[in-house]
Amino acid sequence: MIKRSLITHARKSTVLITIALLVLLPACRQAAADTTSAVDTSIALTSSQADESVPETTSMDTTALITEAVVPEPENPIVRLSTTTSVSDSGLLPVLEEIFEKNTGYDLEIIANGTGAAIKLGESGDADVLLVHAKASEDEFVTAGYGVERIPFMHNYFVVAGAAEDTAKVAECQDALSAFAAIADAEAPFISRGDDSGTNKAELKIWENAGITPSGDWYISAGKGMGPCLIMAGEMKAYILTDKATFLATKEETELQICLGESGDLKNTYSLIAVNPDKNQGVNSEGAQAWIDFMLSDEAGAIITDFGLEEYGEPLFFYDGAPSIT
C-alpha cells in the first residue's frame, strides 16, 4: 500500500514538473527570439529606409523581400549607456532606444544609477557612453582622461515643486534664492536628494548662494532617486527641487504643483560623453559613437523636442544639438 502511494506521488510530481518546463521553455525561446528578431528587423528596414511608406512588418516578411546588400551587423552589437535615474524616470530613453536600435542594429543597454555611480561606471569601463547632467563632475571625468569629450546637447530647467497649500509662499518668489530662503524661514518640509546627484549638487549650490546651511527636522535628506523623492514629497507635502521632466512624469501620482517655474539660475544641461577606450578594456567605442551620432541627428532632435508635448502640453526637454564649433 505504501508502494502504491509512492508511485502515484512520483507520477504526480513528474507531470507537474513537465508542465512547468513546458510553460517556461517558450518564455526562454521568446526572449532569445526578441534579440534576434530585433536585428533581423533592423537589417530589413535599413535597406528600405529611403522609402518612408514602408509599413511595419515582421522580420520574416521583410527578410524575404530583401535582395540588395544589407547593413552588416556590427561586430560588437551591445552599447552600454550609463545614465542617471532622473533621465530614466522621465521616460524619454525607451523611445530613443527603439529608433536607435532599428536604425543601427545595435542593442542599447541602459543602466540608470545615481550620478556618482553613473560616472563611476565610465571610469571602470563598465559603460561605453554616458548621459549625465552634472557639469563639474563631467569636466573632472574628461580632464582625468576617462572621457573623450563632453558634448552638451539638451537642457531643461529645475523647478521648485510643492504641495498646493504652498505654506512658505514660494509662488510669490522671483528666483530660486529667495524661494529657498522663504522655505528655510518657514521651516517648511523640504526634501533633498542627498545623493550627490546632478540635481542634488544644483540644490546645494542654491543653498550656498543663498548663504543658508539647511539643517533641522524640516530638511529631509532622502538618499533616493528623483522619482521616489517626488513621491515622498507628495506624501509629506514637502517642497523639492526637481527637473521638470520627472516632475511632469510623476505629477498625477504626487499631486504636487510647480511653485517656482523656470528661472535663469535653474538651468540643467545634459551631456553625452564617450568613454575613453584607452583607459579600459572592452569599451565599445564604435557603438558609443553610433549612439552619439544618433543623438545629435535631426531625427533624435525631433523626438526629444516632441517628447511629452502631447501628454503634458509642454516639452520636457529643449534640444540644442551639437555644440557649435568656435
CA triplet 115, 162, 200: central angle to 5 degrees?
20
Enumerate residues 95-114 that contact other proteins by CB under 8 A. 113-114
CB 225 within 8 A of CB 132: no
Among 80, 87, 77, 78, smallest CA distance to 127 is for 80
Pick from 74, 152, 194, 321 the residue near other proteins by CB under 8 A. Answer: 194
Pick from 196, 265, 286, 320 the residue near other proteins by CB under 8 A. Answer: 196
Question: Which residue lies nearer to other proteins by CB, 44 or 220?
Answer: 220
Q: Decide: helix, strand or coil at residue 77.
A: coil
Cell, residue 65: 523581400
Q: How far is the CB of 205 from other proteins (least distance, A)?
A: 17
Q: Does 142 participate in binding other proteins (rule CB under 8 A)?
A: no
Q: Decide: helix, strand or coil at residue 323.
A: coil
Q: Does 117 participate in binding other proteins (rule CB under 8 A)?
A: yes
The H or E element containing residue 21 is helix 2-47
Contacts of residue 253, defined as CB under 8 A and 6 or more positions apart, other chains included, come to: 230, 231, 234
Pick from 150, 201, 224, 244 the residue near other proteins by CB under 8 A. Answer: 224
Q: Does 198 participate in binding other proteins (rule CB under 8 A)?
A: no
Pick from 54, 111, 186, 236 the residue near other proteins by CB under 8 A. Answer: 236
Q: Which among 18-26, 98-106, 229-237, 274-282 is the span making contact with other proteins, rule CB under 8 A?
A: 229-237
State the Cα–Cα distance between residues 282 and 16, nearest whole angstrom.
44
**Which positions touch other proteins (CB under 8 A)?**
85, 113-120, 194-196, 220-225, 228, 232, 234-236
